[in-house]
A and B are shown apart, each in its own frame.
Chain A
Amino acid sequence: DAKTTQPNSMESNEEEPVHLPCNHSTISGTDYIHWYRQLPSQGPEYVIHGLTSNVNNRMASLAIAEDRKSSTLILHRATLRDAAVYYCILRDVGNQFYFGTGTSLTVIP
């Protein structure tokens, strides 16, 4: 199973953009890059995923490096409700799903 590396914690001011990085240098050609977040006392929640091209949805944007060895989750305007642990996960064809250590995001009012 391929691994991901994320900073342990990050801070952002409210209503500012946030860029959460993830390194996955051992990614294989068929691995999808998934991002989830977990708010306190809740189960993880899907945010976004992609394979090669950048992706946008109502929650966030995902920027994927050309060599696919890194990606960045972008929250365009952080709110207090975005304070959570964000996990970058590589999902392979075998239905395995392994969480890395994640980034704890603090949003400062």
Chain B
Amino acid sequence: DTEVTQTPKHLVMGMTNKKSLKCEQHMGHRAMYWYKQKAKKPPELMFVYSYEKLSINESVPSRFSPECPNSSLLNLHLHALQPEDSALYLCASSQLGSLYEQYFGPGTRLTVT
């Protein structure tokens, strides 16, 4: 199984809402990633977890809160978002090390109203 799943596929939320994005993989990968992608732009790295610990935070605003409850799951908790946060949010996983490829999920299309 080389699949990374993400739920929901689409999410519309107001600026005062709290919601969560979920990501799951069962490939035994110990690195998991969140990316944000705006239309016609490349994905931007947000967070990296290694062995369920946050190892990279690319100066992401605190209204985005990642969580890695176990080696297969990755969450992104959203609170008080702004309309400019509307984007495609991609999750990925990989084995640790520069020679390993990443596997990406299909993404969650988020719209903040």
Contacts and interface: CB of A to CB of B under 8 A. Distances in A.
Interface of A: 30-32, 34, 36, 42-46, 49, 51, 85, 87, 91-102
B interface SS class = strand
25 contacts: A30-B98, A31-B98, A34-B101, A43-B104, A43-B105, A43-B107, A44-B43, A44-B92, A46-B101, A46-B102, A46-B103, A49-B99, A49-B101, A51-B99, A91-B98, A92-B98, A95-B56, A95-B94, A96-B56, A97-B45, A97-B102, A98-B45, A99-B45, A100-B42, A101-B42
Interface SS of chain A: loop
A92 B99 CA distance: 9
Interface residues of B, number: 25
B99 to A, nearest CB: 5
B43 A93 contact: no
Contacts of B50: 95
Interface of B: 4, 31, 33, 42-45, 48, 50, 55-56, 90, 92, 94, 96-99, 101-107
